[in-house]
Every structure is written in structure tokens, then in C-alpha cells.
Amino acid sequence: MSNRLTDLFAQSDRFKLSLFFTAGYPRLVDTERILTALEEGGVDFVEIGFPFSDPMADGPVIQNSSQQAIANGMALKVLFGQLKGIRDRIRIPLVLMGYLNPVLQFGMQQFIANCVTCGVDGLILPDLPVEVYVDQYKAQFEAAGLAFIPLITPQTSPERIRFLDTHGSGFIYLVSGPGTTGGDKCLEQEAAYFERVKAMPLRLPKVAGFGVRTKSDIELLRQYVDGAIIGSAFVRHLEAGWSNASVAHFVAALK
């Protein structure tokens, strides 16, 4: 089954840039406007966070945006309402990221069905362990053509990376350095880790995120991986007040 995300990485070797934002933040109705600004600004794909009250892998910036988004009324049913028909206007691949509990309360089957209807291409669910995914959901994800994007860290063993590469799809997400999102670890410190993963012949493309902020971070990552995701730094940009032009400027400054 064709998947925009898989196609994106298959079509060219160009380094891919993705930005993350929290749905419902700064305002409930911003989702489509931000997507449009990002597509026009030239990002390769987008990661949309759906908020959770207790995001254990996230740092303060994304925690705050999640809390505000919930207060604004964001929920999965609202997000799917906003994304319905989005494929008439937005063409770049869309990845949803969030925690398991809201998905379970929405219902996994219904969640998958809504992703398909809205044209979502991949999912990052940090607290859904790959073992549980393989046991319970993999068949449904594959039937729906949805990518399940696994995370790895500097502590992940080579055997485990191969296991995740076998069962994941879309791309493999290199958490760049130990930490929650928005960390201030210097990426150079993780050069050995990037080097090690780069040397592994994996099935999936490699994309780095967590603590990626600047153009120089991107320049460094170009040597090792196929793409990068910037989250907290962009959420902070949105927080400060944004326009299509400011987003385009933000993206251009990274390239």
C-alpha cells in the first residue's frame, strides 16, 4: 500500500526537514493554518502532536503547549474533525504523535479508521512498546497503510535497533541524546552514537529529533541521518506569535 511518508524517503536522497507542533496550540483553530504555513514554507513532512495531560517523554515547552491545547478544547475527536478533508489542501506527509491513553479511550480501531480517513501517514506513540504493538496492533496498522515509527536512543542495543527496524515502518526516530524533548544536550556529544547507527545497514530511513534546534544542528546531522525533526524550538516560535511569513522565515533559516 502506498504511503506518502515511505514514498517521500524512497523518492530522493535529499535531507528531509520536519517540524512538530501541538494541535490546538496556540489557539484551538490553528491546526490547518499552521499546516498550510509549513507546507508553503517548504518542510518535507509534519509531526502533529495530540495533547496528553501527562506527557512523560516531553520537556517543559511541549508540556506547556499540551496543557494549553487541552484547556483550549483540543481532543482527538476535535483534531480528526479539523483534519477531515485536509488532503484536498495539504499534500506533504503527516505524522501524529501522542501518548497511548487518549488513543485507548478513543478506541484503537476508531483511531486507525480516522487516521485513514484524514490521510495521516504515520504514528509515533512513545509509550506503546513495540512488543505490544507487534502482539496487538501491527496487523491493523499494516492493513490501514499506517507507518509505526519506532524510537531509539544512545542506550538502545544494536540487537534491539535491528528488532525495531524489522517491525517499525516509515522511518526510525533517533532520539538524539538521552533526554526528554527540548533538552539542551550538545549534539556533538552524541557523534559516536550517530556514527554507530549510521554504520548499521537498516531497512528504514533514519531521522533524528529531540534537542535539535538550529541550522548548525541540522548541518551536523546531515552527515549521519536522512532527516531531522525540530519540536520545542518551533513550538516556542509559535508561542511568541506567528504568521505564514514568520514560519517561512523559520524554515528557511534551517536550510
Partner 1 sequence: MKRFKPDNKGYYGTYGGAFIPEMLLPNIATLQASYLEIINSESFRKEFRQLLKDYVGRPTPLFYSANLSKRYHTQVFLKREDLNHTGAHKINNTIGQILIAKHLNKQRIIAETGAGQHGVATATACALMGMECTVFMGAVDMKRQAHNVERMRMLGARVVPAESGSRTLKDATNEAIREWIRYPEDTHYIIGSVVGPHPYPDMVAIFQSVISDEIKLQVKAKCGKEHPDIVIACVGGGSNAIGAFYHFIDNGHTRLIAVEAAGMGLESGKTAASIAMGRKGVIHGNMTFLMQTEDGQITEPHSVSAGLDYPGIGPAHAYLWDTGKIEVVSITDEAALKAGLMLTRMDGIIPALESAHAIAYLEYLNAAPEDVVVVNLSGRGDKDLPAYQKYFQSCPID
Active site residue 226: no
Task: Pick out residues in 80-119 that bind partner 1 (CB under 8 A).
Answer: 99-106
> 215: burial class by Cβ within 10 Å (0-12, 13-18, 19+)?
exposed
229 sits near partner 1 (criterion: CB under 8 A): no
For residue 208, the minimal CB distance to partner 1 (Å) is 14
76 sits near partner 1 (criterion: CB under 8 A): yes
At residue 129, what is the residue type?
A: P
User: Which cell is 166 given?
Assistant: 524489522
26, 49, 126, 205: which one contacts partner 1 (CB under 8 A)? 126
At residue 33, what is the residue type?
A: R
Active site residue 47: yes
Residue given cell 496556540 in the structure block:
26
User: Which cell is 133 given?
Assistant: 504493538
151 sits near partner 1 (criterion: CB under 8 A): yes
Separation CA 37–CA 197 (nearest Å): 33
CB-CB contact of 219 with 10 (8 Å): no
- For partner 1, the closer CB: 37 or 61: 61
CB-CB contact of 205 with 93 (8 Å): no
- For partner 1, the closer CB: 101 or 216: 101
56 sits near partner 1 (criterion: CB under 8 A): yes
27, 28, 32, 57: which one contacts partner 1 (CB under 8 A)? 57
Q: H or E element: which one contains 105?
A: helix 100-106
Contact footprint for partner 1 (CB under 8 A): 51-60, 63, 67, 70, 75-77, 99-106, 126-130, 132, 150-153, 155-157, 160, 164, 175, 178-180, 183
**Residues annotated catalytic, as ranges:** 47, 58
